[in-house]
A and B are shown apart, each in its own frame.
Chain A
Amino acid sequence: MRNSRKFSKRMLREAGQGYTFMFPVIFTLGLFVIGPILYAIYLSFNDVQLLGGTSYEFVGLENFKEIFSDYRAQVSLKNTIFYVAIVVPSQTILALVLAATLNAGLKGQKFFRIVYFLPTLTSSAVLTLIFMWMYNQNGLINQLLKIVGLPTYNWIGDPAIALKAIMIMNIWATAPFFMVIYLAALQDIPESLYEAAELDGANAIQKFWFITVPYLKPVTSFVVIMGIIGTFQLFDQSYIFSGGDGGPNNSTLTVVLLIYQYAFKSLGTMGYAAALAIALAIVIFVATIIQRKFDKEESLY
């Protein structure tokens, strides 16, 4: 009897300590993450007016229905999906190739790794400004293109080019981050696999394709999912590139930029913006699930 009471007292104390240690997290996540998720769902079913106080009017699924008749929502979704479809595979392949090259046991690896990593450290705002400076009409990139005899572009002002200019910049900026993840994984591949392949007469490319790539599959899956989640949320670059309006001619309008505009730039559309945000979360969620399914099926053989 005494023993069990003592025991429960200890348990009680440990529980108290547990909650004390967790308190800042429970408070912050509760007030600024969990609460807001429920609040966002509520907002998405309402018409929200921000004049003076905040007023809500329940409109059911109206906001979600509106997405289908909103021309700019469709453009932004198209831009975003195009962006994801190009950037995710490109940065993944580039990251893998860079990691494999860096892992070949050459001297000066450390130097290259530090250099490659610079863009990952630098803020998106700074990178965007540097690239806007280089993308200038007679900026560095056009000058270089001229020297080698290639056509030059109006990178920032041409609606057919602007989004691609952001793509190039972001592939360049994000690939090194995933390269480091690949590098860590490459170090775990047993050397004996390569030795066995060498005995069988495999060349470097065959070794890469038949040992390295399959071995890295789980990591690739992770890199692709992280890439999908990240690219769907493109905002800073589009915002700075276009001065906030998604131009020229809506060509750099992404879903998140549109959500921002509806929530904070135009009045009376905050509920609709919340609906768009929830729709985006669902799209990202579905995309990652599809990726995983696809990955599993592929690994069956």
Chain B
Amino acid sequence: MRSFNFKKTLLYVVLCIYAVITLVPFLWALSSSFKTLEEIVRGTISFIPENFTLNNYKEIFVNQELFPRWLLNSVIIGVIGTALNLLFNSMAGYALARLRFPGRKSLFLIILAVLMIPMQVTMIPNYLILKSLGWLDTYHGMIIPAMVNATFIFMMRQFFINFPKELEESAALDGLSRFGIFFRIVLPLAKPALAAQAIFVFMALWNDFMRPLIILSSPEMFTLPLGLNSFKGQFISYWNYIMAASMVFTLPVLVIYMFFNRFFIKGISFTGGK
């Protein structure tokens, strides 16, 4: 009995230590975002600001005109990009799982192969293609190349293969067209898979650094990661501002995660692992 308790205690100690290791950077950033510059440069360890101030947030939202714009750009690209991904990946996954058409197998194999190509190979040609289309430094230049995702086409195919056919068949007997069946029967029942997909796609778009770095050039078009990076260059030692901006950047993802936590874990075991 005693040794059992000892084991439990040890496990808890390990878990708590690692929880601290995980949390400290975030708490430190959060507390720095509420500190005055003077307290920041003094470099004392204190997680509770001496003079709690909202000035850093005021600075980035009020005096930095571009910051709200970067936030807006990120929201536009993230939301539209996610919506298109949900629609197109599901349509393709459904077709690959359910419809018979010539070339279906080869298309599936191509999608599997695409999963293995590192994006560095395609990024230079993509830049040239976007350039010749005149899409550099635009929203559609950011959204359209990323409006489908091989990983989630694959995931949706797996999902639809295990999907009961009977419902669709009875809907077809009731006179619903293929599109009617897809949008009114199949998609609503695919909500868990769609939710997992939505979180991953949105996070990927929201957090993306390299693609915007290549595609976007004017500061008004920057997304948050780029804006933050240019912010760092501009306010090199104003870590209080940089941390406040970082916190604003992180909050939306945290909120989404809190709401969709269970789908999140499900999504990882969908895409990875087995």
Contact = CB atoms under 8 A, between A and B. Distances in A.
Interface in A3-31: 11, 14-15, 17-19, 21-22, 24-26, 28-29, 31
A71 interface: no
B246 A274 contact: no
B148 to A, nearest CB: 5
Interface in B18-44: 18-19, 21-26, 28-29, 32, 43-44
A118 B120 contact: no
Contact of A139 (B43, B91, B206, B274): B43
B146 to A, nearest CB: 8
A112 interface: yes
B148 A143 contact: no
Interface in B224-265: 224-225, 228-229, 232-233, 239, 242-243, 246, 249-250, 253-254, 257, 261, 264-265
Contacts of B107: 22, 26
B61 interface: no
B94 A21 contact: yes
A123 interface: yes
Nearest to B254: A121
B116 interface: yes
Contacts of B11: 101, 104, 106
A24 B91 contact: yes
B15 interface: yes
Contacts, number: 255
Contacts of A243: 233
B125 A36 contact: yes
A29 B122 CA distance: 11
A281 interface: yes
B21 A32 contact: no
A133 to B, nearest CB: 5
Interface on chain A toward B: helix, strand, loop, or mixed SS?
helix
B22 A259 contact: no
B268 A180 contact: yes
Given A40-B125, A118-B26, A18 B104 contact: yes
A125 B228 contact: yes
Interface in A104-120: 104, 106, 108, 112-119
Interface residues of A, number: 91
B178 to A, nearest CB: 5
Contacts of A114: 261
Interface stretch (A61-69, A191-199, A206-214, A228-236): A228-236
A184 B209 contact: no
B107 to A, nearest CB: 6
Interface string B83-120: 01001110110111001111010010011001011111
* Most chain B beta-carbon neighbours within 10 Å: one of A28, A177, A263: A28
Contact of A119 (B22, B104, B144, B242): B22
A136 B243 CA distance: 14
Contact of A29 (B110, B207, B214): B110
Contacts of B207: 122-125
A96 to B, nearest CB: 13
Contacts of B209: 123-125, 235-236, 239-240
A181 interface: yes
Interface stretch (B48-56, B126-134, B162-170): B126-134
Contacts of B265: 113, 180, 184
A240 B144 CA distance: 26
Contacts of B19: 112, 115-116
A290 interface: no
A108 B15 CA distance: 10
Interface of B: 7-8, 11-12, 14-15, 18-19, 21-26, 28-29, 32, 43-45, 84, 87-89, 91-92, 94-96, 99-102, 104, 107, 110-111, 114, 116-129, 131-132, 144-145, 147-148, 150, 153, 178, 182, 203, 206-207, 209-210, 213-214, 224-225, 228-229, 232-233, 239, 242-243, 246, 249-250, 253-254, 257, 261, 264-265, 268-269, 272-274
Given A33-B117, A125-B229, A125-B249, 9 more contacts: A15-B99, A35-B125, A37-B125, A39-B129, A117-B257, A118-B23, A177-B268, A219-B273, A235-B209
19 contacts: A17-B99, A17-B101, A21-B99, A24-B84, A25-B148, A34-B110, A37-B125, A116-B19, A123-B224, A125-B249, A126-B228, A130-B243, A134-B25, A134-B28, A139-B43, A240-B209, A264-B127, A277-B124, A281-B118
Shortest 6 CB-CB contacts between residues of A and residues of B: A18-B101, A123-B207, A36-B125, A21-B95, A39-B125, A15-B101
